[in-house]
Amino acid sequence: MLEVRNLSKTFVIHILGGKSIEGFRGVSFRLYPGEFLGLTGRSGSGKSSVLKCIYGTYLPASGEVWFASERLGRVDLARAGEQAVLRVRDGEMGYVSQFLRVIPRIAAADVVAEPLLRAGSEAGAARRQAAALLERLRIPARLHDAYPSTFSGGEQQRINIARAVIRKPRLLLLDEPTASLDRESQETVIGILRELKEKGTSMIGIFHDRAALEAIADNVLELANGSMEHGRP
Ligand SMILES: Nc1ncnc2c1ncn2[C@@H]1O[C@H](COP(=O)(O)OP(=O)(O)OP(=O)(O)O)[C@@H](O)[C@H]1O
Ligand SMILES: [Mg+2]
């Protein structure tokens, strides 16, 4: 599904007179259909930056990100250009960010249903599917028509997760998706991720919680000293 080769990221800080800061370097791995790779390492080791380079938020300094796209064939996302990255994001690659991205003034159920509408689903059916997923994530029906910008941190996180999984992407990038959730909601999220995995979705996930990581990861890659080591969870 994904082959990352010798990926590196450096940040050039202009207010520091062009000084460069290393995000991470020399990251290589392969990810097979239905496989879950956990990313670990201390704070600041580059975990979030690796996901952002794959999702196309950051342009890597060097390296390749080969994705087996259904629509575009094998494509190096590090070089593909914005149009190709946007097409892959639309339906094939999902991302749950570490910090919440809330869309203002759109009802929660519509935020979650939107990816289905873009894929051509009928409006009523898309909203019903969104509502069912929200119920499963314990977002009460009275909140479905409210704006997520007023929600609690954990509620916003569950909206983000619902939106990222509703179209069953082939590749899912998860940056601490359960960080603000209670145990029960965490377990629900892990259950949803397991079901996606069984249907073939490949995932790369960062979890602060060791138990959550062990519950789902097949392999673990540890970022250390800007570089990496492979291992089992
Ligand atoms: N946009 C940016 N501009 C400048 N430096 C950045 C940027 N993003 C990340 N960095 C730097 O790159 C390094 C890695 O950051 P990153 O957020 O990837 O770490 P992380 O492993 O996800 O940490 P945490 O566990 O705290 O989330 C840090 O030193 C950080 O300051
Ligand atoms: Mg991070």
Q: Per the domain annotation, does 150 fall within a domain?
A: no
Share of the chain above pLDDT 90, in %: 82
Q: Per the domain annotation, does 198 fall within a domain?
A: yes
Cβ–Cβ under 8 Å, residues 213 and 178: no
Reply yes or no on whether the pLDDT at 58 is more than 90: yes
pLDDT per residue as tens digits for the range 118-153:
999 999 999 999 999 999 999 999 999 999 999 999
Task: Please report which confidence band the pLDDT of residue 232 belongs to, taking 50, 70 and 90 as the band edges.
Answer: low
Predicted TM-score (pTM) of this structure: 0.94
Residue nearest to atom 25 of ligand 1 (CA): 43
Measured CA to CA in angstroms, residue 221 lies from 26, 31, 198 at distances of: 12, 11, 21
Q: Name the residue range of residue 54's domain.
A: 2-103+168-231
Q: Per the domain annotation, does 122 fall within a domain?
A: no
Residue 228's pLDDT is what? Answer: 58
Cβ–Cβ under 8 Å, residues 3 and 186: no
Closest CA to 109 of 136, 143, 154: 143
- CATH number of domain containing 43: 3.40.50.300
pLDDT per residue as tens digits for the range 110-119:
999 999 999 9
d(C-alpha 168, C-alpha 166), whole Å: 6
Ligand 1 proximity of 41 Cβ (cutoff 6 Å): yes
Cβ–Cβ under 8 Å, residues 192 and 10: no
Which residue out of 12, 21, 228 has the highest number of ligand 1 atoms within 8 Å of its CB and is therefore the one to mutate?
Answer: 21
Q: Per the domain annotation, does 140 fall within a domain?
A: no
Q: Per the domain annotation, does 144 fall within a domain?
A: no
pLDDT per residue as tens digits for the range 207-228:
988 888 998 999 999 998 545 5
Residue nearest to atom 31 of ligand 1 (CA): 44
Q: Per the domain annotation, does 154 fall within a domain?
A: no
For residues 1-10, average pLDDT: 96
Q: Per the domain annotation, does 138 fall within a domain?
A: no
Residue 171's pLDDT is what? Answer: 98
Separation of CA 100 and ligand 2 centre (Å): 12
Q: Per the domain annotation, does 74 fall within a domain?
A: yes
Q: Give the number of domains in the chain.
A: 1
Residue 231's pLDDT is what? Answer: 60
Residue 227's pLDDT is what? Answer: 53
Residue 118's pLDDT is what? Answer: 92
Q: Indicate which ligand has the atom closest to the C-alpha of 43.
A: 1
Separation of CA 186 and ligand 2 centre (Å): 18
Name 69's bridge partners.
73
